[in-house]
Amino acid sequence: METLQTTLLIIGGGPGGYVAAIRAGQLGITTTLIEGEQLGGTCLNIGCIPSKALIHAAEAFHQTCHYAGKSPLGIQVDAPRIDLTQTVRWKDGIVRRLTQGVAALLKKNGVTVIKGWARVVDGKTVEVQPANAAAAQRIVCEHLLLATGSSEVTLPGLPFGGRVISSTQALSPTTLPKRMVVVGAGYIGLELGIVYRKLGAEVTVVEALERILPIYDEELVKPVAASLRKLGVQVLLGCKVRGLNAAGDAVQLSNASGEISELPADQVLVAIGRAPRSQGFGLESLLLDMNGRAVKIDDQCKTSMRNVWAIGDVTGEPMLAHRAMAQGELVAEIIAGKRRRFAPAAIAAVCFTDPEIVVAGQMPQQAALAGLDCIQASFPFAANGRAMTLEAGDGFVRVVARRDNHRIVGWQAVGIGVSELSTAFSHSLEMGACLEDVAATIHAHPTLGEAVQEAALRALGHALHI
Which positions are annotated as active-site residues? Answer: 445
Per DSSP, helices labelled H in 336-409 are 364-369, 385-389
For residue 397, the SS3 value is strand
Q: Taking CA 324 as the corner, what is the angle to CA 323 and CA 327, rounded to the nearest 5 degrees? A: 85
Q: Which residues contact 56 (CB under 8 A, 6 or more apart)?
A: none
For residue 378, the SS3 value is strand
For residue 209, the SS3 value is coil
Q: Which residues contact 279 (CB under 8 A, 6 or more apart)?
A: 293
User: How far is residue 456 from each of residues 226, 408, 461, measured CA to CA in Å?
Assistant: 26, 9, 9
Contact in structure between 300 and 340 (CB atoms under 8 Å): yes
Nearest Cα neighbor of 201 from 273, 271, 268, 272 is 268
Contact in structure between 44 and 15 (CB atoms under 8 Å): yes
Q: Fill in the amino acid letter for 225.
A: A
**Cα distance between residue 306 and residue 369, in whole Å:** 36
Q: Is 155 left (phi over 0), alpha (psi -120 to 50) or beta?
A: beta
Torsion sign, CA atoms 129, 132, 137, 143: negative
Q: Are strands 349-351 and 356-361 parallel, antiparallel or unpaired?
A: antiparallel
User: How far is residue 443 from each of residues 104, 398, 438, 456, measured CA to CA in Å?
Assistant: 38, 16, 9, 12
Helix axes 187-199, 48-67, angle to 10 degrees: 40
